[in-house]
């Protein structure tokens, strides 16, 4: 079509531009997808309600939540969603056609998992399903420019931050950036999304601190996943139940069908390769510096106060953004997928933890919207403030590590240990939703009272 140009007086303000030659190019990024797990009692939304102390009847009405999927073949099955709801003991209305953005062809387990759990936890909220054939930059720009969008988006995809151009090689070439430049630019887009009141959450990864691009731990540097390593996103790690109990007070039909039993509790630890066949991604960004909101929590871990052994200093960036921020159950998660699993099946991954935690936040958003008319928006400063001021909002996970990868462990594998306080395996810990709601309500009531006093 010929050369393109911009006026010279605009050049100093242009960082890069896209969309001129990379449209109609379809890519299938490597993703953190769920994998089959060994049989033991499964996790359903009622399990999460019980374990994370979600108040009975707590509704997400007035808030909205969605999931973002990337690449071809990552649609969800609407019929499977309704079967999951009816047999899983939750109420999920069919999604409005206006809330299904650029659907692609082909049902995927990831899509079914994500929408079933964000919608199954945040019942009453408005559900969105957003797909994009391209990767993070194109999606984030499209999402930000949309006339309407949900309050929360959960992303279950990721790749080593140092190799983003492997996922979006055409995009990097067109933009004239390397992987570091790509990450820096997408982080700016994430800032903009947070500034308009949207909460972004992301799975921390399923191949430990070494990452999916180093499955045999042969590289003497740990590899954090992106976008989980962005300081403008809430990164979610995974936990598992050891010796689970099966005493749900009102088990849904799937738990009493004879094919499955469902967990009601047990000892919660970081996921392990031996049980879950994966470990949580986590560590420290090599690109983004540590944000001030997590300074205190991360320094407690790094300065030896947590009392755990750290990897060699050459393996990680001590001053980088620490991840994950929080965690949730991500092992033995029951989903319904007619096409991929032939019915009910148990899957796992931080890709299960992220949409679930997004559901907890949607419940908080409903409280915030009722009191102030606004959602929480960018979450991380609020989460770390809540941790410092009301630690009962989180339950610390102190057992486990992320030294192994999805392939197991070799002598060269390094990683981090769960510990007291924040750690690069399970973050601040798992949620106590009842306590979170209590803290948020008190915080907002105090702000409303102060504002009324100031205007009196």
The residues annotated with a catalytic role in the active site are 110, 114, 351
Alpha helix positions (H), 235-310: 273-276, 295-302
Residue 99 burial by CB count (10 A; 0-12/13-18/19+): exposed, middle or buried?
middle
Residue 116 burial by CB count (10 A; 0-12/13-18/19+): exposed, middle or buried?
buried
Q: Residue 28, Cβ neighbours under 10 Å: how many?
A: 12
| β pairing state of 265-270 and 234-245 | antiparallel
Short-list 109, 306, 73, 312, CA closest to 209: 312
Short-list 49, 135, 99, 56, CA closest to 359: 49
271 near 199, Cβ under 8 Å?
no
What angle do the packed helices 380-389 and 433-455 form, to 10 degrees? 100
From CA 154, how far away is CA 264, in angstroms rounded? 25
What angle do the packed helices 380-389 and 295-302 form, to 10 degrees? 70
Q: Using the Cα atoms of residue 378, residue 384, residue 388 and residue 390 in order, give the sign of their dihedral.
A: positive
Q: Residue 57, Cβ neighbours under 10 Å: how many?
A: 7
Residues 6+ apart with CB under 8 A from 218: 412
CA 207 to chain centre: 15
384 near 294, Cβ under 8 Å?
yes
Q: Residue 8, Cβ neighbours under 10 Å: how many?
A: 7
From CA 72, how far away is CA 28, in angstroms rounded? 6
From CA 85, how far away is CA 78, in angstroms rounded? 11
366 near 150, Cβ under 8 Å?
no
């Amino acid at each position: 079509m010929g050369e393109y140009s911009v006026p010279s007086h605009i050049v100093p303000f242009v960082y890069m531009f896209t969309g001129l030659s990379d449209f109609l190019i379809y890519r299938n990024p490597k993703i953190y997808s769920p994998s089959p797990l060994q049989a033991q009692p499964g996790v359903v939304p009622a399990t999460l309600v019980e374990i994370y102390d979600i108040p009975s009847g707590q509704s997400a009405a007035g808030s909205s939540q969605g999931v973002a999927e990337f690449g071809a073949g990552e649609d969800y099955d609407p019929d499977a969603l309704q079967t999951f709801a009816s047999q899983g003991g939750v109420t999920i209305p069919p999604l409005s056609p206006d809330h299904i953005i650029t659907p692609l062809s082909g049902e995927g387990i990831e899509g079914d998992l994500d929408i079933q759990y964000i919608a199954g936890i945040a019942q009453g909220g408005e559900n969105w399903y957003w797909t994009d054939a391209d990767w993070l930059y194109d999606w984030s720009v499209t999402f930000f420019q949309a006339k309407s969008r949900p309050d929360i988006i959960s992303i279950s995809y990721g790749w080593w931050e140092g190799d983003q151009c492997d996922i979006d090689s055409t995009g990097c070439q067109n933009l004239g950036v390397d992987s570091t430049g790509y990450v820096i630019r997408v982080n700016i887009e994430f800032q903009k999304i947070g500034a308009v009141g949207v909460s972004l959450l992301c799975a921390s990864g399923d191949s430990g601190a070494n990452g999916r691009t180093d499955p045999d731990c042969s590289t003497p540097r740990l590899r954090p996943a992106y976008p989980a390593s962005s300081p403008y996103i809430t990164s979610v790690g995974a936990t598992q139940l050891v010796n689970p109990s099966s005493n749900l007070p009102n088990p849904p039909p799937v738990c009493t069908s004879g094919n499955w039993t469902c967990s009601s509790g047990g000892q919660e630890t970081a996921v392990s390769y031996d049980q879950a066949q994966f470990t949580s991604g986590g560590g420290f960004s090599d690109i983004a510096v540590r944000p001030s909101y997590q300074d205190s929590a991360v320094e407690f871990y790094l300065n030896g106060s947590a009392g755990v052994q750290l990897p060699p200093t050459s393996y990680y960036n001590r001053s980088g953004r620490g991840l994950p921020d929080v965690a949730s159950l991500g092992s033995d998660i029951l989903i319904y997928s007619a096409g991929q699993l032939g019915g009910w099946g148990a899957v796992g991954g931080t890709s299960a933890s992220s949409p679930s935690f997004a559901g907890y936040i949607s419940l908080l958003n409903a409280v915030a919207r009722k009191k102030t008319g606004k959602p929480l928006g960018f979450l991380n400063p609020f989460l770390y403030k809540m941790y410092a001021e009301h630690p009962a909002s989180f339950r610390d996970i102190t057992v486990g590590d992320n030294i192994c990868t999805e392939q197991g462990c070799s002598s060269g594998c390094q990683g981090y240990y769960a510990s007291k306080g924040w750690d690069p395996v399970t973050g601040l810990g798992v949620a106590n939703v009842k306590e979170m709601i209590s803290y948020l309500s008190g915080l907002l009531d105090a702000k409303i009272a102060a504002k009324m006093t100031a205007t009196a």
